[in-house]
């Protein structure tokens, strides 16, 4: 199981908005993630919290590219760029990023698939009901696990038609992206079901609001709960955990694996 550390270079992220802006703070964050043993680093320049407003292409580029370059100067660890914009993805890949993490599953920008196809990079395909602006208004499913799997199967088939091999795809059921508390719990209870596509599975549960609702925790208090979920996911087929606190999740996973 790999641990993906998060670098949000946004002023309005739900968890750490504004904390890593500025060259010194950004460098400190990256050094921290590397010291804690991050296997990958995910760089995002546009908040995807519920009801977030989009930012311009130019602004996102100005946020993301310095972060990608800062990681690459320090380490060969794979870098993921968290974006739905083809221009941002292309520039980030040219700056040294290795994979694209697209919460829209390449539906937002029709040019994104050519960036992924032509670069040969890996791509994270995530399920989201609606958009960040409306996804939490009234999410409804008859069978949340089955419906997410149908969506993921459809996007993988479409990517293959566009010339992107399945071996380059990572799937993410999208915890918190158009899901209620019970939907998120159902996804986690049945997480192994998302392995049916033959692709690596990524779970992004870190500091999410469902943890706060379940346990009555503010965002800053959710790292222990995040680590508990990380431990519970160990051995269930999850390949990548996307988290803010890399050290806590790594320790939790190691302990769970030792006790298994």
- What residue segments make up the domains of the chain, in order of their start? 2-259
CB-CB contact of 5 with 243 (8 Å): yes
Q: Is 207 known to be catalytic?
A: no
Burial of 52 (0-12, 13-18, 19+ CB in 10 A): middle
Rounded CA separation 212/240 (Å): 22
pLDDT band at 200 (very low <50, low <70, confident <90, very high): very high
Average pLDDT over residues 126-134: 79
pLDDT per residue over 168-186, tens digit each? Answer: 999 999 999 999 999 999 9
Active-site residue, from 85, 90, 155, 242: 242
What pLDDT does residue 14 have?
45
pLDDT exceeds 60 at position 13: no
Which CA distances in Å does 1 have to 24, 239, 240, 256, 258? 30, 5, 6, 12, 13
Rounded CA separation 164/59 (Å): 29
Active-site residue, from 207, 208, 222, 250: 208
The pTM assigned to this predicted structure is: 0.91
Both tokens of 48, joined, read 């995807």
CATH number of 2-259: 3.20.20.20
Number of CB atoms found within 10 A of residue 193's CB: 15
For the ranges 20-24, 177-181, 251-255, which has the lowest average pLDDT? 20-24
Which CA distances in Å does 117 have to 161, 200, 205? 11, 18, 28
Q: Is 85 known to be catalytic?
A: no
């Amino acid at each position: 199981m790999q641990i993906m550390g998060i670098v949000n270079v946004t002023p309005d992220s739900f968890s750490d908005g504004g904390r890593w802006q500025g060259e010194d703070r950004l460098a400190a964050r990256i050094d921290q993630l590397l010291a804690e043993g991050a296997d990958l680093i995910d760089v995002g320049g546009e908040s995807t919290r519920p009801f977030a407003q989009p930012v311009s292409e130019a602004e996102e580029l100005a946020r993301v590219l310095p972060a990608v370059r800062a990681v690459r100067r320090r380490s060969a660890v794979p870098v993921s760029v968290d974006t739905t914009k083809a221009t941002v993805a292309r520039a980030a890949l040219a700056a040294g990023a290795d994979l694209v993490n697209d919460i829209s599953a390449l539906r937002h920008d029709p040019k994104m698939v050519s960036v992924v196809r032509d670069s040969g990079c890996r791509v994270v395909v995530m399920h989201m009901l609606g958009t960040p602006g409306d996804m939490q208004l009234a999410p409804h499913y008859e069978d949340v696990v089955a419906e997410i799997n149908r969506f993921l199967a459809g996007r993988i088939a479409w990517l293959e038609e566009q010339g992107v091999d399945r071996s380059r795809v990572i799937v993410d059921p999208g915890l918190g992206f158009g899901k209620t508390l019970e939907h998120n719990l159902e996804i986690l209870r049945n997480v192994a079901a998302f392995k049916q596509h033959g692709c690596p599975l990524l779970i992004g549960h870190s500091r999410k609001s469902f943890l706060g609702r379940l346990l009555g925790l503010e965002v800053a208090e959710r790292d222990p709960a995040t680590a508990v979920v990380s431990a519970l996911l160990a051995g269930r087929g999850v390949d990548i955990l996307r988290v803010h606190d890399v050290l806590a999740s790594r320790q939790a996973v190691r302990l769970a694996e030792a006790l298994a």
